[in-house]
């Protein structure tokens, strides 16, 4: 007979076995008959195998509950373990983060290295979720016991060594609320640089490309470099802007990113050191809410080689982000900025989450996180949205998504 001496304060009940309908309901119904409190619960299904864990307060006659659960497990054809404990979830450390890992492919060695560094700082992985397996593999680790900033610093170096992308974000409600996504355009939302496409038509591509590269590396002041490049376009027929737009290639996943997040209530903005005649059309085509760019002077149908008004430079992009956040009615902490060049650094720093997308080294070092896979919609997984949710939303809208390879 159980005397109650040395009785546990909590019981961790774990069932494993083939998934079937009603397992969770059966277990919780059994537990409920003993009047206990559920402290924590988690369930995972992997290839038809179910793992159900329930942490409950232990009744005085706790062995009776254990015996009843063993009968349930036998009837269900599952394995049961009941672990005694003297505490509840208060033992979990403070400092909670979401650590999202992206790879193409995502190798076991890389996951082992990342999880090893998490353990090195004394943090614990409470849960792991798969966010996507195609076209990138993405997993989300729920981590406790380390402050996000410290975790980010530790994991950044390991991510570079393993050639995977790792994003660390505080576990708070902002990740699931409405947010404003602010994107650079050239080499981020679209492939290539618009000014270089114009320069090819003006016959000065080599000169413009050389200035562009120096500016993107942060070696030249952006405004001066832009004015020098635009000056080389003097005399170009303005119809070249429309020709360039018609030939633009969106980055893979761009439409999926905008379409999916717009459906979820997100707002979008594009800010570009490029030109409004292109970005305004791009915003209209994609349903983007806000746009800011430079305006080229056109006289008698030709470019004069000058810009009208102030140049939208590095500081101007950050200011545009703040202005658009105000207009969208969101805090700056609820903004996500995406860019690739030195001209995006202030914008990335001002945002709640700054994402360096296939960026120059100086930008990758400064941003909150990097994404180096060639799919812009991989950013969706940083926001806690799974590939399955994207495909379900597409199916509701009648959009057919390609099946992943077997």
Least confident of 16-25, 45-54, 279-288: 45-54
Contact 35, 59 (CB under 8 A): yes
Contact 368, 99 (CB under 8 A): no
Q: Give the C-alpha separation, 229 to 212, whole Å.
A: 8
The predicted pLDDT at position 2 comes to 45
Least confident of 77-81, 322-326, 397-401: 397-401
Would residue 222 be called left, alpha or beta, if left means φ above 0 and alpha means ψ between -120 and 50 degrees? alpha
The predicted pLDDT at position 216 comes to 65
Contact 404, 133 (CB under 8 A): yes
Please tell me the pTM assigned to this model.
Answer: 0.80
- Angle 396-191-344 from CA coordinates, rounded to 5°: 100
Preceding omega of 51 cis (within 30 degrees of 0):
no
Active-site residue, 120 included: no
Mean pLDDT in residue range 56-79:
93
- Is the predicted pLDDT of residue 226 greater than 90, yes or no? yes
pLDDT band of residue 302 (cuts 50, 70, 90) is very high
The predicted pLDDT at position 403 comes to 60
Q: Specify the DSSP element, H or E, that contains 98.
A: strand 96-103
What's the distance, Cα to Cα, between the start and end of the chain in Å? 55
Laid out side by side, the sheet with 79-85 consists of 38-46, 49-57, 10-18, 79-85
Q: 3-state SS of the chain: helix, strand, coil percent to 5?
A: 40, 30, 30
Torsion of CA 107, 109, 114, 118, to 10 degrees: 140
The predicted pLDDT at position 8 comes to 87
The predicted pLDDT at position 188 comes to 97
- Is the predicted pLDDT of residue 91 greater than 50, yes or no? no
Q: Give the C-alpha separation, 209 to 212, whole Å.
A: 5
Q: Give the C-alpha separation, 353 to 333, whole Å.
A: 8
Mean pLDDT in residue range 85-90:
60
Nearest Cα to Cα of residue 226 among 338, 301, 305: 305
SS3 263: helix
Q: What is the pLDDT of residues 333-388, one digit of tens each?
A: 999 999 998 889 999 999 999 999 999 888 998 998 899 999 999 999 998 888 88
Nearest Cα to Cα of residue 254 among 378, 101, 83, 134: 378
Nearest Cα to Cα of residue 209 among 183, 228, 223, 236: 228
Domains of the chain: 10-90 (3.30.70.260), 92-174 (3.30.70.260), 181-192+249-367 (3.40.50.1000)
Q: Give the C-alpha separation, 307 to 254, whole Å.
A: 29
The predicted pLDDT at position 394 comes to 78
Q: Give the C-alpha separation, 112 to 387, whole Å.
A: 23
The predicted pLDDT at position 5 comes to 44
In angstroms, the Cα distances linking 306 to 90, 206, 231, 235, 297 are: 64, 20, 6, 11, 6
- Is the predicted pLDDT of residue 88 greater than 60, yes or no? no
| Summary mean pLDDT of the chain | 90
Q: What is the pLDDT of residues 144-190, one digit of tens each?
A: 999 998 999 999 999 999 999 999 988 875 666 668 999 999 999 99
DSSP 183-202: E-TBTTTBSS-HHHHHHHHH
- Is the predicted pLDDT of residue 94 greater than 70, yes or no? no
Active-site residue, 184 included: yes
Q: Computed from CA positions of residues 38, 44, 48, 51, in that sequence, does the dihedral angle turn out positive or negative?
A: negative
Radius of gyration of the chain (CA): 27
Mean pLDDT in residue range 81-86:
88
- Is the predicted pLDDT of residue 320 greater than 90, yes or no? yes
Non-local (6+) Cβ contacts of 31 within 8 A are 13, 38, 54, 56, 65, 69
Of the residues 165, 184, 313, 344, which is catalytic? 184
- Quick one: tokens of 3? 């005397």
- Is the predicted pLDDT of residue 82 greater than 70, yes or no? yes
Of the residues 186, 340, 344, 377, which is catalytic? 186
Q: Give the C-alpha separation, 1 to 226, whole Å.
A: 85
Least confident of 123-137, 269-283, 296-310: 123-137
The predicted pLDDT at position 92 comes to 46
H-state helical runs in 204-302: 205-216, 222-231, 239-246, 254-263, 276-286
Least confident of 35-39, 372-376, 398-402: 398-402
Q: Which residues pair with 10 in a beta bridge?
A: 57, 85
The predicted pLDDT at position 399 comes to 78
- Is the predicted pLDDT of residue 108 greater than 90, yes or no? yes
Q: Give the C-alpha separation, 341 to 345, whole Å.
A: 7
- Is the predicted pLDDT of residue 286 greater than 80, yes or no? yes
């Amino acid at each position: 007979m159980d005397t109650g001496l040395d009785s546990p304060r909590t019981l961790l009940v774990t069932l494993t076995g083939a998934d079937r309908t009603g397992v969770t309901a059966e277990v919780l119904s059994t537990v409920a008959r003993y009047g206990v409190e559920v402290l924590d619960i988690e369930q995972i299904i992997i290839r038809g195998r179910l793992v159900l864990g329930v942490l409950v307060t232990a009744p005085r006659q706790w062995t009776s509950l254990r015996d009843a659960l063993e009968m349930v497990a036998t009837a269900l054809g599952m394995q049961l373990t009941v672990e005694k404990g003297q505490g509840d979830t208060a033992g979990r450390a403070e400092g909670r983060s979401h650590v999202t890992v992206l790879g193409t492919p995502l190798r076991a060695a890389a996951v082992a290295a990342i999880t090893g560094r998490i353990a090195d700082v004394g943090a614990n992985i409470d849960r792991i979720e798969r966010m996507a397996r195609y076209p990138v593999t993405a997993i989300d680790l729920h981590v406790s016991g380390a402050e996000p900033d410290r975790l980010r610093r530790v994991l950044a170096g390991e991510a570079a060594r393993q050639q995977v992308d790792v994003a660390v974000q505080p576990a708070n409600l902002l990740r699931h609320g409405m947010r404003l996504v602010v994107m650079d355009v050239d080499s981020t939302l679209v492939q290539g640089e618009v000014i270089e496409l114009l320069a090819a038509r003006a016959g000065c591509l080599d000169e413009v490309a050389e200035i562009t590269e120096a500016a993107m590396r942060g070696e030249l002041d952006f405004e001066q470099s832009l004015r020098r490049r635009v000056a080389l376009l003097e005399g170009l027929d303005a119809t070249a802007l429309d020709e360039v737009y018609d030939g633009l290639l969106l980055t893979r996943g761009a439409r999926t990113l905008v379409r999916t997040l717009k459906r979820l209530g997100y707002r979008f903005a594009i800010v570009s050191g490029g030109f409004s005649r292109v970005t305004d059309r791009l915003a209209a085509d994609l349903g983007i809410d806000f746009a800011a760019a430079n305006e080229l002077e056109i006289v008698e149908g030709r470019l004069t080689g000058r810009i009208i008004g102030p140049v939208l430079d590095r500081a101007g992009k950050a200011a545009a982000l703040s202005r658009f956040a105000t207009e969208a009615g969101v805090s700056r902490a609820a903004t996500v900025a995406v860019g690739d060049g030195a001209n995006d650094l202030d914008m990335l720093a001002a945002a709640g989450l700054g994402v360096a997308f296939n960026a120059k080294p100086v930008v990758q070092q400064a941003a909150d996180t990097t994404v180096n896979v060639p799919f812009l919609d991989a950013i969706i997984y940083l926001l806690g949205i799974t590939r399955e949710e994207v495909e379900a939303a597409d199916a509701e809208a009648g959009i057919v998504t390609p099946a992943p390879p077997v």
